[in-house]
């Protein structure tokens, strides 16, 4: 076998495809560094998101490709840079993702909070905007009730910081209940302020918790900025699915890309046995029908409800639990979808 060189390792890496983007790591510009010392090789691969769902597979493929050319010791290091579209939706913000549901109570806010924190735990810079003007729940989920937002010297609202993410909720601006009377133009103005007059800083992902249904906030958002996409949260019951399909149609009407479906309260798990309380497979079928990704199913669990009520979401309070793992998996799948869709649909920076 010939002497190992950086050029040979690079050639070998040309045979490794990103499993989601179906292109090799070298053409994708993901190989940041190669160091060769005799038969020892160290490589650094820059992923398209720190929450990459296929990191282990990529590592295995890289090891096998470099092993084939004679390396005896292989180190694979990962970095990540979230790819941004050429025109950012807002200065400093790479992706805006709206979390929607057709009806209330399916756990949209719970999912949004846990997803946002999961992405931050993986190393991404994340903001969460509670745009559920009529029934904001993020202040309770994050235990920030009673805290008031500060304004900086440029008169921009400064998000609260909790569990590694930046958080803006109407609940930290006006007393509870007061927003209920807001109508069209004021609502539009508020959403605009939330997007444009907040010191968000640099973010990989801004997650937006939408109000349930298909109303004014959704419309305002699509008029005010370019979303990378929307995620639909549903439960397995038929009726929730029919509502969810309406939310899906709404995204289509305002030309927002659909990133996928998350099914919440999918099953109850006890002693390793799963009971599908509300039926099985609805969310997955819906994703198939709409030709979008099924991002994951979240079990119904006391810890999820308690975490939301106590201001310590389950992903923080019980990170090793199966339900936290389910949120983490859904967050990785979402990040993966964003990488794929950015790559396929948008001109890259």
The binding site comprises: 102-109
135 binds ligand ATP (CB under 6 A): yes
Q: Which of 223, 274, 305, 322 binds ligand ATP (CB under 6 A)?
A: 305
Minimal distance in Å, beta carbon 42 to ligand ATP?
42
Minimal distance in Å, beta carbon 64 to ligand ATP?
38
234 binds ligand ATP (CB under 6 A): no
Contacts with ligand ATP by CB under 6 A: the residue count is: 20
Token pair 């939408």 in the structure block, residue: 210
What's the CA gap between 49 and 70, in Å, rounded? 30
CA 133 to chain CA centroid, nearest Å: 21
Q: Which of 296, 308, 313, 336 binds ligand ATP (CB under 6 A)?
A: 308
In this structure, what DSSP letter does residue 50 have?
T
What's the CA gap between 16 and 28, in Å, rounded? 11
Distance, first Cα to last Cα, the chain: 40
265 binds ligand ATP (CB under 6 A): yes
3-state secondary structure of 178: helix
Token pair 């010939």 in the structure block, residue: 2
What's the CA gap between 342 and 329, in Å, rounded? 20
In this structure, what DSSP letter does residue 171 have?
G
298 binds ligand ATP (CB under 6 A): yes
What is the per-residue binding string for ligand ATP in 164-203, x denoting contact by CB under 6 A?
----------------------------------------
Q: Which residues are annotated as a binding site for ATP?
A: 102-109
Q: Which of 25, 227, 293, 300 binds ligand ATP (CB under 6 A)?
A: 300
Produce one character per residue of 13-34: b if its CB has 16 or more CB atoms within 10 Å, e if not: beebebebbeebbeebebbeeb
Token pair 């050029």 in the structure block, residue: 7
What is the per-residue binding string for ligand ATP in 96-115, x denoting contact by CB under 6 A?
-----x--xxxxxxx-----
Q: Which of 212, 283, 313, 336 binds ligand ATP (CB under 6 A)?
A: 212
Q: Select 53 or 107, whichever has its Cβ closest to ligand ATP.
A: 107
Strand partners, 160: 167
How crowded is the C-beta side of 230, counted as CA atoms within 13 Å?
32
317 binds ligand ATP (CB under 6 A): no
324 binds ligand ATP (CB under 6 A): no
Minimal distance in Å, beta carbon 263 to ligand ATP?
10
How crowded is the C-beta side of 134, counted as CA atoms within 13 Å?
13
- Of the ranges 37-45, 132-140, 195-203, 335-343, which one interacts with ligand ATP (CB under 6 A)? 132-140
Q: Select 110 or 342, whichever has its Cβ closest to ligand ATP.
A: 110
The residue nearest ligand ATP at its CB is: 104
From residue 28, give the alpha-carbon distance in Å to each of 50, 118, 325: 16, 26, 29
Q: Select 114 or 341, whichever has its Cβ closest to ligand ATP.
A: 114
What's the CA gap between 6 and 26, in Å, rounded? 13
Our CA angle for 157, 187, 103, nearest 5°, is 110
Minimal distance in Å, beta carbon 193 to ligand ATP?
21
| Positions in the binding site for ligand ATP (CB under 6 A) | 101, 104-110, 132, 135, 137, 212, 264-265, 298, 300-301, 304-305, 308
């Amino acid at each position: 076998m010939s002497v190992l060189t950086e050029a040979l390792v690079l050639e070998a890496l040309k045979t490794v495809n990103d499993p989601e983007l179906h292109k090799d790591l070298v053409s994708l510009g993901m190989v940041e560094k190669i160091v060769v010392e005799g038969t020892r090789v160290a490589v650094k691969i820059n992923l398209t998101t720190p929450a990459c769902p296929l990191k282990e597979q990529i590592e295995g493929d890289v090891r096998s490709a470099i092993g084939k050319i004679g390396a005896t010791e292989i180190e694979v290091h990962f970095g990540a840079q979230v790819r941004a579209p050429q025109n950012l939706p807002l200065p400093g913000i790479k992706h805006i993702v709206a979390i929607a549901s057709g009806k209330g109570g399916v756990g949209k806010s719970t999912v949004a909070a846990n997803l946002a924190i999961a992405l931050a735990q993986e190393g991404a810079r994340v903001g969460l905007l509670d745009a559920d003007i009529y029934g904001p729940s993020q202040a309770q989920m994050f235990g920030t009730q009673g805290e008031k937002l500060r304004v900086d010297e440029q008169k921009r609202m400064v998000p609260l910081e909790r569990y590694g993410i930046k958080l803006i909720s109407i609940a930290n601006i006006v007393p509870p209940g007061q927003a209920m009377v807001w109508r069209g133009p004021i609502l539009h103005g508020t959403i605009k302020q939330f997007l444009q007059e907040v010191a968000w800083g640099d973010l990989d992902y801004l997650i937006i918790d939408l109000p349930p249904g298909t109303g004014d906030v959704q419309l305002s958002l699509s008029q005010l900025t370019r979303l990378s996409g929307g995620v639909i949260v549903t439960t397995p019951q038929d009726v929730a699915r029919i509502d969810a399909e309406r939310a899906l149609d709404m995204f289509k009407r305002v030309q927002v890309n659909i990133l996928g479906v998350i099914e919440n309260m999918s099953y109850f798990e006890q002693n390793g046995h799963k009971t599908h309380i509300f039926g099985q497979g609805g969310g997955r079928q819906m994703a198939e029908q709409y030709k979008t990704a099924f991002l994951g199913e979240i079990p119904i669990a006391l810890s999820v409800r308690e975490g939301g009520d106590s201001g310590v979401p389950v992903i923080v309070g019980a990170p090793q639990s199966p339900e936290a793992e389910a949120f983490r998996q859904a967050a990785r799948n979402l990040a993966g979808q964003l990488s794929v869709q950015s790559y396929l649909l948008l001109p890259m920076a």
